[in-house]
Structure 1
């Protein structure tokens, strides 16, 4: 199960009052820098996962509100706990000094989003919040407390993310069957209701959220719902134009290479990117890459020599 100790705002390099546009812009910039397909530094993948988790939390208004209120413990606090009640309980515990020795390491620390006072621990606050439920700790029990939501990562190939389907995963020693929707994207969260932490005294279990990670692929590069792939062509196909085959996660497709295409030209196959069950699918972009033989038979060499002799084309002339 994934755990996070760094402040999500710091991870994205934005202030705590940043708007959604600023958060999205910061995420896109960092994702382009640290994506494992682009950045081969050993720590780039971990950094990419960190900023993806931060974005998944801060881009959702409801989840961001809980994070702002409860700090790193926001996934442990039951859904029915009101942030204002939590703040009052925190203030009250801080005024009384809390339990001796409690609270070390709890919350986000000084200046963090939870901001627990000295000596105020997570259990202390829960005690105050739930003291009216089932007698509290005075009655030797917390009362019914819903299970905490949990998170885990699931790594998929581009093909598996494209097609979706059933998968079996192991989380916390439990084997769980998961239905992967077709067209899931990197960083997307899949909710498994009731598969999180167990509740106490008959309370409902929490939910398990699977964070999708799409593994690097030797052929495809996924950007949101768009897919990019290189398209090798011969010099004559690029010069004269041709209809050539291109691999896609859904199978082979045909793309028309216009005459006079140079390496780097992008050919768009609309709707051939990642599926979108709730809207428009992404596109597939095939990037022309002109290939030449490593060695030439005599007959082909003569033809290239004849072309070189008669052609006036100079690619270096502006």
Structure 2
């Protein structure tokens, strides 16, 4: 998608108060309204202004937009930074979204589109809140108690958007999967007129791990093996998120072969599997003895690695 500098479109600073954004939009909307403007690009400018205002007038959307960073230029190819929404708490019913055609679609998908103005009754339940939180894959194997920090957008007395931080102690259940939502009753938005508070829903995601990748309930591991382990077979020690296990490498294994450790994936009913993908690592020819060993191997084998390559 292309980055759109909504602040530049409305002609305001990033530090502008919400009232300043409203005034800027109204002034420019009158100037470029297609029914009265003589500018040739009035219709496009009017739509662009509306898109910018739709995001910046909403404290939650504006705070999310600001988390994308300030170094982007208008019209640049753009992708949201990895894990930009970690711990970002928002209200509404929308699901988190990936890359979309433009930033307006991105925020509509995330927050459930433009929300109408509501007249709240004198007694009402608070809004449900949502946040995406990252945990270690080991937590899904054993369960854990974790302190999780969240940031909730809010307006200060001067009409500026700020992020209010708060910390919750959360029980991570054993066997939790990526994309699963944990419900914290009464931890959402406050009720109106003594009404009960809404709930907080935490969407679970896994932090990147140096060794393991998660695919649903299955876990994948790239395991380095020596050429002789792959060719002759043998027993190797394999790390898992729940401790080390012993595994047999079959004789004649090729690089990229997947070996399945049944039930060693994410716990559950049934549990996932752990797939070990063999990665053959060559010893370096960094000494005379090592070079001699490679030369001996070359003479011992009548082997052409490209025998079938050319058809």
The verdict on a shared fold, with TM-score over 0.5 as the criterion, is yes
Residues 1:3 and 1:213: Cα distance change in structure 2 (over 3 Å): farther
In 1, are the aligned partners of 2:261 and 2:273 still within 8 Å (CA)?
yes
SS in structure 1 opposite 2:132?
strand
- Cα offsets for 1:101-140 (capped at 9, x unmatched): xxxxxx63xxxxx7xxxxxx422xx45xxxxxxxxxxxxx
Residues 1:149 and 1:237: Cα distance change in structure 2 (over 3 Å): same
- Cα offsets for 1:68-93 (capped at 9, x unmatched): xxx9877xxxxxxxxxxxxxxxxxxx
Q: Does 1:45 align with 2:88?
A: no
Residues 1:284 and 1:216: Cα distance change in structure 2 (over 3 Å): same
Q: Which of 179, 182, 193 is the aligned partner of 1:187?
A: 179
In the other structure, the counterpart of 1:302 is 292
Q: Which of 224, 227, 239 is the aligned partner of 1:232?
A: 224
In the TM superposition, residue 188 of structure 1 has moved relative to its aligned partner by: 1.8
Q: C-alpha root-mean-square deviation of aligned residues, in Å?
A: 3.3
In the TM superposition, residue 3 of structure 1 has moved relative to its aligned partner by: 5.5
- Cα offsets for 1:34-69 (capped at 9, x unmatched): xxxxxxx863636999x97259xxxxxxxxxxxxxx
Q: Which runs of 5+ in 1 are unaligned?
A: 6-40, 56-70, 75-106, 109-113, 115-120, 128-141
What is the correspondence of 1:104-123 to structure 2 with a 5 Å cutoff?
Answer: 108=114, 121-123=116-118
User: TM-score if structure 2 supplies the norm length?
Assistant: 0.58
What is the correspondence of 1:247-262 to structure 2 with a 5 Å cutoff?
Answer: 247-262=239-254
Q: Which of 125, 135, 139 is the aligned partner of 1:156?
A: 135
Q: Give me the whole-angstrom Cα distance separating, in 1, the residues matched to 2:129 and 2:261.
A: 39
Q: Which moved more, 1:290-299 or 1:231-240?
A: 290-299
In the TM superposition, residue 303 of structure 1 has moved relative to its aligned partner by: 3.7
In 2, are the aligned partners of 1:53 and 1:187 still within 8 Å (CA)?
no
- Cα offsets for 1:200-241 (capped at 9, x unmatched): 222211100111121111111111111111111111111100
Residues 1:299 and 1:248: Cα distance change in structure 2 (over 3 Å): same
In 2, are the aligned partners of 1:158 and 1:249 still within 8 Å (CA)?
yes
Q: Which of 259, 267, 270 is the aligned partner of 2:259?
A: 267
What is the correspondence of 1:113-152 to structure 2 with a 5 Å cutoff?
Answer: 121-123=116-118, 126=119, 142-152=121-131
Q: Give me the whole-angstrom Cα distance separating, in 1, the residues matched to 2:147 and 2:263.
A: 29
User: RCO greater where, 1 or 2, for CA within 8 Å and sep 6 or more?
Assistant: 2
Q: Give me the whole-angstrom Cα distance separating, in 2, the residues matched to 1:238 and 1:47.
A: 41
SS in structure 2 opposite 1:53?
coil
Q: Which runs of 5+ in 2 are unaligned?
A: 1-58, 63-77, 87-93, 99-108, 151-163
